[in-house]
Structure 1
Amino acid sequence: MSEAPLPGLFAGPVTVPPAEASEPDHRLAHRARLRARFMEGGAAAMPDYELLELLLFRALPRGDVKPLAKRLLRVFGDLNRVMAAPAARLAEVPGVGPAVIEQLKILEALGHRMARARVLKRPVLSSWDALLDYLQTALSHQDTERFRVLYLDRKNVLIADEELAQGTVDHVPVYPREVMKRALALNASALILVHNHPSGDPTPSEADITMTHAIRDAAEVLGLVLHDHLIVGKARALSFRSEGLL
């Protein structure tokens, strides 16, 4: 049997795989109801576990995925953390296999690309809220420190966003010379430093402040401007500029 076609995301005839064809009618009906409710009311009409169910339908064409959706949210806390969880940690959850991990990682990548598209090749200083949203999406749920540099041209348009280092849960090695070397290679005129605090607290350490000032001093020698250093926590990002640290 086949499901009735739905507009938009589920447009076109959907042929039920052989595995799904053997599913009990009540499970097929549940899947059809969720899909229809999403298309009619969008995400606002559904709790997080039902949205996660919709994703899991594609990875697991057979069986009841509601328990797995609720289990993932219970283990990781929310949808963002489910998507951002490392593959190894996802694999530890009962019921999660390669197909589920692949589906979640694809959706995570799409989310990052969409957020990045809102700031790439646009004046960063006039799109500050979009920039913060992008960085929060990309970094707030990482479980190790990541150091990134946003390189800007003379009009403060973002020309590159590059991760220069990864570290541990509370430290990431940063070398001002490498930051400057890359800035010169890109012919950048300004930069914004970004890193995350996996602890969730964006308060800068003394090492963070010392490193920022070293990069600022190196940039000034080369005629570059350091606009800011942003530390991304779980719920917010801290700006060195706003805190009077630059």
Structure 2
Amino acid sequence: MAISDWPVSERPREKLLQLGPKALSDAELLAIFLRTGVSGCDAVTLARQLLSHFGSLRRLMGASQHEFCLAKGLGEAKFVQLQAVLELSKRYMQQQLQRETVFTEPALVKKYLTHTIGHEQREVFLLLYLDNQHRLIASEPLFMGTIDASPVYPRIVVQRALAHNAAAVILAHNHPSGVAEPSRADRAITERLTQAMALVDIKILDHFVVGDAEVVSFAERGWL
């Protein structure tokens, strides 16, 4: 049965218009992006199959062009559209952060980080540079790692913070495993960076670890 034959309340586009995007499942949102299914398979069913194929929405969003285009119902045009959507989302969130006092809006920072590095298949260590009113100056990925590690060098972090004339910074990195719980290594490098930045009078306000379902804040846990 085609989606157009479904009850209006169950059609993804109509459901979004009536209830808002948060009311839709991952598959329903993906179906709207896909627009059409393939022979013998409607868009929602195709979306479910794709989520099962990739394992999660995060892995689908972070797939390489080769991986993406090999999947049933996808191709280069869809890959280009998805990259455009992701980049627009990142830019929108960054503009929102630049308008706000970042440290007083942890939920906004978490949302931005989820959009920025949450879908990455490699570990990315990112810095948010803040002015003396804790407004965003710039966001910069500094280190890229393997599937489970990213080398972090305090000297480079200090150099980049000084180059941006930052008064404070927020650290962030993702866990490609999808589990946001900070490791002992995460806590150790945070302590080293805190000590290094203190020497140049730059404060680390927080360290966020981004996973599939949550973003953990060191500050909220009392670790900073």
- Return the match for 2:80 from 102, 123, 144: 102
- Return the match for 1:145 from 100, 120, 123: 123
Deviation at 1:219, TM superposition (A): 0.9
RMSD over aligned Cα, in angstroms?
2.9
Deviation at 1:244, TM superposition (A): 3.5
Give the corresponding residue for 1:5.
none
Task: State how far apart, in whole Å, the 1-side matches of 2:139 and 2:64 are.
Answer: 22
Runs (5+) with no aligned partner, structure 2: none
- Return the match for 1:37 from 6, 14, 25: 14
- Return the match for 1:86 from 60, 64, 68: 64
Deviation at 1:145, TM superposition (A): 0.5
Task: State how far apart, in whole Å, the 2-side matches of 1:169 and 1:74 are.
Answer: 21
8 Å contact kept, 1:68–1:95: yes
- Return the match for 1:220 from 186, 189, 198: 198
| 1:116 and 2:83 correspond | no
SS at match of 2:172: strand
Give the corresponding residue for 1:168.
146
Runs (5+) with no aligned partner, structure 1: 1-25
Give the corresponding residue for 2:160.
182
Q: Give the residue type in structure 2 aligned to 1:237.
A: V
Distance 1:61 1:169, change over 3 A: closer
8 Å contact kept, 1:190–1:225: yes
Point out the structure with max Rg over C-alpha: 1
8 Å contact kept, 1:196–1:233: yes
Distance 1:120 1:87, change over 3 A: farther
User: Normalising by the residue count of structure 2, what TM-score does the alignment of the two structures yield?
Assistant: 0.82
Task: State how far apart, in whole Å, the 1-side matches of 2:175 and 2:159 are.
Answer: 25
User: Normalising by the residue count of structure 1, what TM-score does the alignment of the two structures yield?
Assistant: 0.75
> Once the two structures are aligned, what percentage of the paired residues are identical?
36
Deviation at 1:180, TM superposition (A): 0.9
**Alignment deviations for residues 104-135 of structure 1 (CA, whole Å, 9 cap, x no partner):** 22222222222222212421112111111211
Distance 1:45 1:182, change over 3 A: closer
**Alignment deviations for residues 203-244 of structure 1 (CA, whole Å, 9 cap, x no partner):** 333322222122111111111111121111222222223334
8 Å contact kept, 1:37–1:45: no
Q: How many residues align?
A: 218
**Alignment deviations for residues 36-78 of structure 1 (CA, whole Å, 9 cap, x no partner):** 7268535467554344333223xx7996662533321222355
8 Å contact kept, 1:144–1:198: yes
Q: Give the residue type in structure 1 aligned to 2:14.
A: R
Alignment of structure 1 residues 187-226 onto 2, 5 Å: 187-226=165-204
